[in-house]
A and B are shown apart, each in its own frame.
Chain A
Amino acid sequence: MISGVGWSRIGRRLHCDPLELAADACLAAIHDAGITADDIDGVSTYPGRLGSTPGITGAGVDDIRSLLGLELSWHTGGLELAGQLGSVVNAVLAVGAGLAHHVLCFRSVWESTAQDLATGGRAELMASSAHEAVQWGRPYGAGYATYGGLALQRYLHESGATRAQLAQIAVVTRANAAHNPIAVYREPITVQDYLDARMISDPLCLYDCDIPVDGCIAVIVSKSGSTADAGKAVRIEALGSASGWQSSADMMWARTDLTPSDVDVAEVYDGFSIYAVHWLEALRLVPRYETGAFVESGRRIALDGELPLNTGGGQLSAGRLHGYGPLLEACVQLRGEAGARQVPSRPEVAVVTSGAELFTSCLLLSR
Chain B
Amino acid sequence: MQPEPVSGKGNVWSWTITRHRLSPGMEPPYVIALVELVEQPCLRLITAVVGDGDTANIAIGMPVSVAFERTGDIYIPIFVP
**Which A positions have Cβ atoms within 8 angstroms of B?**
120-124, 126-127, 136-143, 145-146, 149-154, 157, 198-204
Contacts and interface: CB of A to CB of B under 8 A. Distances in A.
B26 interface: yes
Nearest to B45: A136
Contact of A201 (B20, B60, B71): B20
B16 A149 contact: yes
Given A123-B23, A142-B22, A150-B33, 13 more contacts: A137-B32, A140-B48, A141-B22, A141-B48, A142-B32, A143-B18, A146-B16, A146-B18, A149-B18, A150-B32, A154-B34, A200-B20, A202-B29
Nearest to B77: A139
Given A120-B24, A123-B22, A142 B15 contact: no
Given A124-B24, A126-B23, A154-B60, A141 B14 contact: no
Interface in B17-43: 17-24, 26, 29-30, 32-34
B14 A150 contact: yes
Given A150-B15, A202-B17, A140 B22 contact: no
Q: How large is the interface on B (under 10, 10 to 19, 20 to 34, 35 or more residues)?
A: 20 to 34
A201 B46 CA distance: 14
A202 B19 CA distance: 7
A145 B34 contact: no
Contacts of A152: 16
Contact of A154 (B13, B30, B78): B13
B18 to A, nearest CB: 5
Given A137-B46, A141-B30, A142-B46, A151 B22 contact: no
Contacts of B65: none
Lowest 7 A-B CB distances belong to which pairs? A143-B22, A149-B16, A141-B26, A202-B17, A141-B23, A154-B14, A199-B19
B67 interface: no
Contacts of B21: 121, 123
Contacts of B23: 123, 126-127, 138, 141-143
Contacts of A149: 16-18, 32
Contacts of B78: 140
Contacts of B76: 139-140
Contacts of A140: 30, 32, 46-48, 76, 78
A7 B15 CA distance: 38
A149 B16 CA distance: 6
